[in-house]
Amino acid sequence: MNISNEKITKFIKNILKDPLFLKHWEDPFYYHRHDDDNRLSVVLAGRRGKPYPYRGDSFMFIQDMYTGIMPFMVYSGEREKYPTKLESNLKQRERFISSGISQEGRNIFLADALCDFVRTTAHALFSQGVAFYEIVYKKDAKGNIESFDLEYLQPFYLIHFFNNYYQIIPWWEAKESRARVRIIKIPAEKILKIDFPKQFGGKKKICSVLKKLWQLSKETIPDFYMQTMKDNQNIGFNLNEFTKVKYLEIARLVKHLGWNQRQYSDNYITEYYSVVRFLRKKKLEAVIRQEIIFKLNKCLNRAPLNIGEKITMENLFSVQDVEKQEKLLKKGNIKFKDIFDAFKI
C-alpha cells in the first residue's frame, strides 16, 4: 500500500513539474549545448514570428537585393581583385578571424569569410530588418580566447531589456524545435546586432514593404477571371492592364530602394529613370555593406573578444562613388553603359 502511494505521489509531482510534458519534446539531434563553449541561445525551427510567407515578389525582391552586395570569390581572380586584409597582416590572425566569422563553419580565406558574413547578414536585413548574432567563444587554460563563432540568432521572441537580451521559448516553439519552454538570459555584450539603415526607413519600413509585396503577389491571375475562363465567358477583363497596374504599384512601393523587378527596359518607364533606380539600389548596397563591416569590426574590438583587428576589403564601390555617378547622370555627361560598368562586382 505504501509503495502504491509513493508511486502515485511521484507521478503527481512529475506532472506538476512538467504539466505539458515538454521534456518529451527535447531531442539531442535538434537541440544540443556543448559544454566546451558558452552558447546560450536556442535555434528555433518555427517561423510563427513572421507575419507573411517568404514567397512571390517578396522572395524575388530579397534575392535580388542581397546577392550582388559582395563579390563571389569562387570565380578565378576575385581574391586578387578585391584584396582583404587585417591591420596586422598576420596570417595566423586571418585564419583565426576567418573561422570565427564564416557562416560555412570552416576555416577559409579571409575574403571568403567576409563575403559570406556580409551576404548572410544582408539577407537577414532584407528579410527581417535586423540581424542578431550571439558571440560564442572558447578560452584556453590561461583565459585567452582560442576560438570564436558568430552564431546567427533568429529575431523571433527576442527582447532587449536594460543590459540583457531575453530569448523566450514558448511552448509551441519548444514543440517545433525539440527544446524546453523557458526564458534565456543573454548579456548584451554577447550579442551583435545590425539594423537595416534608418536612412532607408529602418526595420519598420522594410517589413512593411515585404508584407505589401507578398499581398500584391498573391494572385498572378485573379480567381474571378480564372473562373470566367473556365466557364468560357468574356467579361471584358484586361489582364495586361492588371499586370501593368500591379507592376507600377510595386515600382512605387520600392522606388526608394531601387529594385527594378528584373526589368531594366520595359514599356512603363524611361531608360533614364531605370538608371536612376539602378543607382539607388547601388547606394543602398554600399550603405548596408559599409554598416555591416563597421559593426563587425566594432564587435571584434570590444568585449568579450577584444581581438584588436580591423578588416578591410579594397576596390568595392562606396556611397561617394554612387553619388558621383548621380551627379554625372543629372548633367548628362555620361553614358548609361558606363554607369552600369562602374558598379560591376
Q: What is the structure's pLDDT at 33? A: 45
Q: What is the structure's pLDDT at 264? A: 60
Q: What is the structure's pLDDT at 49? A: 52
How far CA 283 is from CA of 237, 279, 297, 319, in Å, comes to 40, 6, 21, 6
For the segment 205-234, what is each residue's pLDDT rounded down to a tens digit? 999 999 999 888 888 788 787 778 777 887
Domain extent listing, the chain: 50-129+196-345
What is the percentage of the chain residues whose pLDDT exceeds 90? 57
Query: What span, in angstroms and rounded, lies between the C-alpha atoms of 304 and 299?
Result: 9
**89: pLDDT strictly greater than 70:** yes
Q: What is the structure's pLDDT at 283? A: 98
For the segment 130-159, what is each residue's pLDDT rounded down to a tens digit? 999 999 999 888 888 999 999 999 898 899
pLDDT band (50, 70, 90) for residue 56 = confident
For the segment 323-345, what is each residue's pLDDT rounded down to a tens digit? 999 999 999 989 999 999 999 98
Task: Extract the C-alpha cell encoding 126.
Answer: 532584407
Q: What is the structure's pLDDT at 94? A: 93
Average pLDDT, the chain: 87
Q: What is the structure's pLDDT at 126? A: 96
Crossing angle of helices 56-67/202-216, nearest 10°?
130
Q: Contact, 109 vs 91, CB < 8 A? A: no
For the segment 65-78, what is each residue's pLDDT rounded down to a tens digit? 999 999 999 888 99
Q: What is the structure's pLDDT at 31? A: 44
pLDDT band (50, 70, 90) for residue 178 = confident
Q: Contact, 192 vs 135, CB < 8 A? A: yes
Q: Which range among 65-69, 99-103, 285-289 shows the weakest confidence by mean pLDDT? A: 99-103
